[in-house]
Amino acid sequence: MDSFDKTLSVEQKKIFNKIANTVRHLSMDAVQKANSGHPGLPLGCAELGAYLYGLALHHFPKKSQWINRDRMILSAGHGSMWLYSLLHLSGFNLSLEEIKEFRQLGSKTPGHPEYGHTDGVEATTGPLGQGVGNAVGIALGLKMLATKFNTSDHSIFDSKVFCLASDGDIMEGVSGEASSFGGHLKLDNLVVIYDANDITLDGPLLESASEDTVARYRAYGWEVYEIDGYDLEHLHEIFFDLRNSQTQPVLIKAKTLIGKGAPNVAGTSKAHGAPLGPDEVETAKANLGLPAEEFYIPKSVKAYFEEKLNKDKQQYEAWLETFRKWSKANPSLFEEFEAMREKTLPDDLEKKITSIEMKSPLAGRKASQVVLEVLSELMPSLYGGSADLSGSDMTMMKKYPIISPGRFEGRNIKYGEREFAMGTIANGLALTTMIIPFVGTFLTFSDYMRNAIRLAALSRLQVIYQFTHDSIFLGEDGPTHQPIEHYAALRAMPNLLVIRPADNNEVKMAWVAALMHKTGPTALILSRQVLPQLSQTEVPYDKGLGRGGYIVRSEKIQPDFTLFATGSELQLALGVSDELAKMGKDVRVISMPCWELFEQQDPAYKDAVIGGDLGKRVSIEAGSELGWHKYIGLNGTAISMDTFGASAPAGALAEEFGFQTDLILERILSEYTQTI
């Protein structure tokens, strides 16, 4: 992208000050009107925002999804009015009426920014620290895309990622994890601006932190600058150099005054998270030389941004011409670009995956890796990684190299023991809109990254989680590694597909489901232990796993028992049904690998599978029984785990916790006898 002049003009400095005060004006009024919000950051960081949106950012608000735009992530999402004010002024599709409806039901200006809801918002932020991880992920994704698509003649990816982070963001551990990783990879397209106002919601920062953040980031491998947050000339000098010669990620520690302009609360925690009050707003406006009129925008500010829009348009059109030349000169690359941009699935995806040969028995994690090796050739958008467990969670794509410092041609990412950061970075990769990231760790460690999974679900990002070692049957590692409550906890999350396949056949179809689910994340729950391939699950996607739940063994007349199972327990349910049949009992067995997909089915289908008199209903799953009674009823029997596991071989654990054919038979026959 083109650079800008090295020196700010007097006129530029004047208009940036006007823009800054306009941001303060709009933010104070919106928070006051809503009687809710966080005015401190918008008031304190207004000059930084005026400079970024008034000059530094290379984007075109009228084409807000331009693939080569600079991204601006507000990690400190509580300061959302800072962002909304600047988006409106810059020309994004965010009206002044929406600003006036700040924090109201149905508005485009919710309390914290939401990706996909408000034009110009690049990531859903608010839970502190995660925006930094998102920025690292987007920056990494753009480096990978640049390596893949840029040629010696044409550069179609050369944008940067900017992030505004607060003291709270910097304190949260996830930002440290992500920053360490970004420094390791030498991401030279990433700039984090640290709003260092030394205030948190509870009071002065020194009451809870006294570390040398500058030294810490330098130790991560970042270039660090310390500036006065209102010295735009110094900031501009830094940005000029970064546009031309950045070699590593950059942290700009900008000293600011929270609530600047509001004389009675500035510099205190009172400015952080509550409206200023009508008297303080009136005083602040007078103090700043602003008119009393609500939601006032000077004509000069409007005119400036109209002129900037024209310049943005020219820059965008110049890029379009470069893109046209590139696509003509590189037809095969262009075809791959379009496939990634559209996330195109092969027409015969199911057929290709179904035809993959696998041995039996095979662990769910290994079956998934076999599928991945095939998908890596079919889906150039797939990039994978693991939190230091690729040899155990089987996420490595063996045909491709590992991403390394300054080398981004690979498709495997080693995140190290940074599960939470891995989740936030994966969200950032997905936010490029051209990459489908998958990440792996043990299921029990999904707790470390849960809030990142939640934001992926809230943002409807297509991220795929390969969670392995899915039950007590991982064995000797014991209860610290054996998941119990995790199926239920993940199933409770909206927009997240949770799939626990029973064998090779269901693993294959689980990947079909994950790739088809483009409006949210998917968790694949996979076994460590080997599982036999079942003939009963060898059915087409739209008759089996694609339905979420389906009948794998039908009764002859009327069921005496109906057994529900997922994952490794499906083979156990079939074994129990064999024994019940020998006793003259009529049995139906239902595989329920994905409750979310099952709930999406039409009522007639659901009734055909689980409706009516199905006799004694029994669920068999080596996890918490929470949720199962929706399907088995209050009088149903849940063969489940209601305690933590133990350290022992899998066979001993099966006996100890009741997951053996004879033990299940004994229990359900006893309860069956009592009910007839």
Q: What are the residue numbers of the active site?
A: 419
End-to-end CA gap in the chain: 77
Of 473, 471, 534, nearest in space to 508 by CA: 534
Nearest of 116, 71, 120, 72 to residue 99 by alpha carbon = 120
Locate 376 and state its tokens.
């890596």
The DSSP-derived string for 96-160 is: HHHHHTTT-TT-S--SS--TTTSTT--S---STTHHHHHHHHHHHHHHHHHHHH--SS-------
The token duo for 26 is 């709009």
| Main-chain phi, psi angles of 39, to 5 degrees | -80, -20
Could you list the beta-strand ranges (E) of 427-521.
436-442, 464-468, 497-499
C-beta separation of 499 from 442 below 8 A: no
Residue 507 contacts residue 523 (beta carbons within 8 Å): no
Strands 587-591 and 616-620: unpaired
The two tokens of residue 599 are: 């709930």
Report whether the peptide linkage leading into residue 361 is cis, meaning its omega lies within 30 degrees of zero.
Answer: yes
Of 440, 577, 567, 588, the residue nearest 503 (C-alpha): 567
Phi then psi dihedrals of residue 588, to 5 deg: -110, 140
Closest to 132 (Cα-Cα) out of 452, 407, 405, 576: 452
Question: What does DSSP assign to residue 359?
Answer: -
Question: How far apart, in whole angstroms, are the C-alpha atoms of residue 169 and residue 131?
Answer: 8
Is the Cβ–Cβ distance between 312 and 59 less than 8 Å?
yes
CA distance 45 to 193: 10
The continuous run of DSSP H or E covering 352 comes out as helix 349-354
> Whats the size of the chain, residue-wise?
676
Question: HSE on the CB side for 488, CA within 13 Å?
Answer: 16
Distance CA 225, CA 412 (A): 32
Is the Cβ–Cβ distance between 507 and 514 less than 8 Å?
no
Alpha helices by DSSP H, 185-298? 213-220, 232-245, 278-288
Burial of 519 (0-12, 13-18, 19+ CB in 10 A): exposed
What tokens were used for 282? 């009136």
Q: How many CB atoms lie within 10 A of CB 297?
A: 19
> What is the token pair recorded at 397?
């794509």
Q: Residue 369 is inside which H or E element, if any?
A: helix 364-378
Instruction: For residue 632, give both structure tokens.
Output: 């088995």
The tokens describing 187, both together, are 């991401």
